[in-house]
Amino acid sequence: MCLSREELAELANAWIWKHHEKIVALSANYIGQLERGKIRWPGKLYREALREILGVSTDAALGFVNSRRAVVRLKDVDRKQFLRSGLGLGVGALVLGPMAALLEGGEPSPIPHRIGATEIEQIRAATRSFDSWSNTYGAGLIREPVMGQLRWSARLLDATCPDRLRPELYSAVGNLAETAGYAAVDIGAHDAGRRVYRFALACAEQAQDWPLRAEILSSMAKQAIWTGQPDDGLTLAEQALVRSDRLTATGRALLHTDRARALAKMRRVSETLTAVGTADDHFAHSTPDDDPPCMAYYECRQVIW
């Protein structure tokens, strides 16, 4: 198995969410700092995740030393060698070429100590920009920058934020994550897309943002159908319809269309036709002015196919 720094970071983030339900933002830059010894004692959850992923039982085996408890220091080269050999990584997977090396060593962008409406709107504006670029140029252009923006934005979730604004912060980050997940799926990076979608869904549920939750589950359902798992797609679409009374008519039409796609793939013809009719009925009562921004793209032709 050959993993890049980014892939290792994403695996660790996914492992922590799966086992601790904690949203973290371990990045490729952070992995690089571990290699170089700039960070010698990462947080407990990071150490636990990396031990599991790399298949070792102790922090020392990873080259991590708590400087407050030990005098011994491991050379940076030992740490680098472990991170390469422990996963069978080729040198090319973690060591950049001479030109790309000029981009190494940058410090993570600082985050504000306190989050307010301005920072939340900045995340929303970034999401709108990425969506526009994706629609114009394709997801390949935005995948790397949107993931970088998402990692930075996810760190804001741990910053101080007024209680009244925290749901909006989670919604904004979740919406950005949905865009990042779509970018990954659109270029065929399905495993990465699933991980980002799960993060997006966690944010939407934390915010109790029902329309965003429905949109993310719809995206997850479509991905499952596209990748030959229509039964999973049907489950996700029906999960999104829980408390459908909190969705607009457009949102309900979207989800019944997803159900119809999944049922059609399973050749359940009668149920497919019923689902199409239900989607059409809901869309007939659609009022675009009532729809949240995440539903703006949905049009009649998506019901009719």
Cβ contact 280:303 at 8 Å: yes
Q: 29 and 77: one domain?
A: yes
Residue 106 lies in a domain: no
pTM above 0.85, yes or no: no
Q: 145 and 166: one domain?
A: yes
Give the single-character DSSP code of 64: -
Q: 124 and 198: one domain?
A: yes
Residue 109 lies in a domain: no
> Of 176, 208, 240, which residue sits at a domain end?
208
Q: 122 and 204: one domain?
A: yes
pLDDT of 111-154, one tens digit each?
A: 888 999 999 999 999 999 999 888 888 888 888 899 989 999 99
Residue 141 lies in a domain: yes
Q: 70 and 29: one domain?
A: yes
Residue 108 lies in a domain: no
Residue 97 lies in a domain: no
If you count them, how many residues does the chain have?
Answer: 305
Distances 260 to 142, 214, 221, 244 between C-alpha atoms, Å: 30, 16, 11, 17
pLDDT value of residue 183: 93
Regions of the chain with pLDDT less than 70: 1-3, 67-107, 293-305
On average, the pLDDT of the chain sits at 82
Q: 119 and 200: one domain?
A: yes
Q: 204 and 231: one domain?
A: no
pLDDT value of residue 67: 64
Q: Look at residues 6, 4, 78 and name the one whose alpha carbon lies nearest to residue 36.
A: 78
Q: 179 and 244: one domain?
A: no
> Of 61, 92, 123, which residue sits at a domain end?
92
Q: 198 and 269: one domain?
A: no
Number of domains, the chain:
3
64: containing domain: 5-92
> Of 208, 239, 271, which residue sits at a domain end?
208
Residue 100 lies in a domain: no
Q: 152 and 236: one domain?
A: no
Q: Hey, is 160 helix, strand or coil?
A: strand
CA-CA-CA-CA dihedral for 83, 6, 113, 165, to nearest 10: -140
Residue 65 lies in a domain: yes
Residue 216 lies in a domain: no
pLDDT value of residue 219: 95
Enumerate the H helices of the chain as residue ranges. Answer: 5-20, 28-36, 44-54, 76-85, 91-94, 117-137, 139-155, 166-186, 190-207, 210-226, 230-240, 249-265, 269-284, 300-304
Q: 241 and 291: one domain?
A: yes
Q: 201 and 254: one domain?
A: no
Rounded distance between C-alpha atoms, residue 262 and residue 290, angstroms: 27
